[in-house]
Amino acid sequence: MDLKTLANEIEDVLDPASMDKVLMYYKDVQEEDEEFMQILFENLRNETVYWLQPWYQLSGCLTRRLDETDEKNEEKYRSDPICKEEDEKINKNWRKLIKKYGLPDKLISFARWKNKERSKNPNSNEERVRRFVASYLARGLERTVQQVFKYIISHLIEPSKRHYTAEEEKIMEVCFTHQPHNAVIYLSAILGREPRGIYKRLHYLFKGCKETKRLKWTIPLATKLVKSIMMHTGLPLEELKYQTFDKSVWLKVQEDMNQNYIALSKFWYTYLHVQIFANYDVKLNKLKKKVYRVLRESHYQVWTDIRWKDVLKHFPDGFTHLFLYKICSTTFVKHPNYLKIPIEKIIEIGLKKAKMIRFNNRRLKTLKLGDDGNLERVSYHLTRKKGMIKNPK
């Protein structure tokens, strides 16, 4: 799957399933890079540089710039930008390398791979293999190994003056909407771009956005949000149900709340909408079990197959597909490979966790607009405590 296919499969950037697709693509990219590097390590772990290197290619670090040229050395290296002839030489060296050692033709994986979990000691196996490959590619060039390695990364991962495509921006919007704190990490790997450039583009795309801050949602704060939405839409509360508001409305609400409009809209559609319009006692455990029953009776095979808007049709008025997704996904997000394991296994994990005692009595904290125009708690259970609105877990 390429980026264009991934973007075309995303119909609604607000749909949480769209983030699942992006995460699956991200994991596929990581697995592809790890698989290639594992082959590289196995085939080259015992290899050493057997050709004569100039003094400026003897450094043991790939990322640190070479110290100032020693005046005693007559051999000089070039410091101007790498030209087309040198680029062709690097590619020729790569062809020789993969042919000699039987490696897959995936230079992009070599450029993209990050040594995060393994030791970065220059003498570790991983770093020695990376240095050997970079040195091989630098053969015959009046360049340092660091220059060649940096050129490979910048040339393959982020070609100069490459404009952002509509598909890339769509994927950026998905990540920024659902995983704002990890968006740049995912996007850098998926799009093959440097984090600094992604930050700049995000700022350009979402200029005017307030910084996303973690809010502790209280009833007065939720009341302020509802009143702001009502004021800027001109609609009474009962007509806000299942309404999709234009971005211009959310930007006005953003100014009232002094909070990023994406975070506000996400809170509205995922939590507050349900708390206001689901007018009945709801035990969250029973709700989860019903979701699992619907999934078991469906044709879905893995988590990413689920169409939450279709699942929503099996539930009473007032719920949103974002809410159903949220209360279920929190059970699995820390489970390894939850996006790819069979849906039946997912259901078994969910039902097992639902039996835990601490989850048995959790209820949806429903609200209504009181006579004074403020939100107030609707009590269906005598022991429920007053206080904060807590997001369902």
For 13-67, write each residue's pLDDT tens digit: 888 888 988 998 988 888 888 888 889 988 888 888 888 888 888 876 776 666 6
pLDDT: which is higher, 20 or 196: 20
Residue 331: burial class (beta carbons within 10 Å; 0-12, 13-18, 19+): buried
* pLDDT band, residue 221 (cuts 50/70/90): very high
- Measured in degrees and rounded to the nearest 5, phi and psi for residue 183 equal -55, -45
Confidence (pLDDT) at 236: 92
User: Averaged over 141-151, what is the pLDDT?
Assistant: 88
Which H or E element spans position 377? strand 375-377
Question: How long is the chain?
Answer: 393
pLDDT, one tens digit per residue, over 163-179 is: 788 888 889 888 888 88
User: Averaged over 130-149, what is the pLDDT?
Assistant: 89
The DSSP output letter for 122 is: T
Is residue 392 predicted with pLDDT exceeding 70?
Answer: no
Task: Write out the DSSP string of 225-279.
Answer: HHHHHHHHHT--GGGGTT----HHHHHHHHHHHTS-HHHHHHHIIIIIHHHHH--
Is the CA virtual torsion 165, 168, 173, 176 positive or negative? Answer: negative
pLDDT: which is higher, 128 or 272: 272
* pLDDT band, residue 273 (cuts 50/70/90): very high
Q: How many CB atoms lie within 10 A of CB 14?
A: 18
* pLDDT band, residue 390 (cuts 50/70/90): very low
User: Averaged over 354-371, what is the pLDDT?
Assistant: 77
Confidence (pLDDT) at 393: 39
Is residue 224 predicted with pLDDT exceeding 90?
Answer: yes
pLDDT: which is higher, 311 or 65: 311
Q: Which is nearest to 247 in space by CA: 222, 230, 263, 265?
A: 265
- Measured in degrees and rounded to the nearest 5, phi and psi for residue 283 equal -85, 120
Q: In 45-191, where does DSSP find H-type helix?
A: 84-101, 107-112, 125-137, 145-157, 166-178, 183-191
pLDDT, one tens digit per residue, over 82-120 is: 877 888 899 999 999 999 999 988 888 888 776 655 555
Domain limits, the chain: 45-157, 284-359
* pLDDT band, residue 222 (cuts 50/70/90): very high
* pLDDT band, residue 159 (cuts 50/70/90): low
